[in-house]
Amino acid sequence: METEAVCAICSGALKRRRLEINVPDRLERHVGISETGYRRVWIECVVCRTATNVSESFSQDVLKDIETAYCEVDLDGSDISARFQKLTAWVGVERK
């Protein structure tokens, strides 16, 4: 995996590996991304210190499938009222 990418926020160099994930998440598994050879790395920018999620390139179709899968995986089987309640449950809740 290349670590010579630049930060999307400040264009600084992405150099310091912060976290490596070797198992697809629930949405990636849902759209058929295999655990074999899977790797995703969070790399920190040397300038602004934000971390960027770097993974093997997925096609735009796979990324669209993951976007669609969010509702299928997290809200499948819910009626419209239950979906609305789940999606708005955090509104007005103080987060720490």
Give me the average pLDDT of each 10-residue run along the chain (96 residues).
74 92 83 84 93 71 71 67 73 58
Model pLDDT, residue 44: 94
The region that residue 11 occupies, defined by phi over 0 for left and psi between -120 and 50 for alpha, beta otherwise, is left
Structure tokens given for 7: 């930060």
pTM of full prediction above 0.85: no
C-alpha to C-alpha distance for 34 and 52, rounded to whole angstroms: 22
Which residues are within 8 A (CB) of 8 and not within 5 positions of it... i.e. 6 or more apart?
Answer: 52
Model pLDDT, residue 73: 65
C-alpha to C-alpha distance for 35 and 54, rounded to whole angstroms: 16
The region that residue 23 occupies, defined by phi over 0 for left and psi between -120 and 50 for alpha, beta otherwise, is beta
Longest dimension (CA), the chain: 46
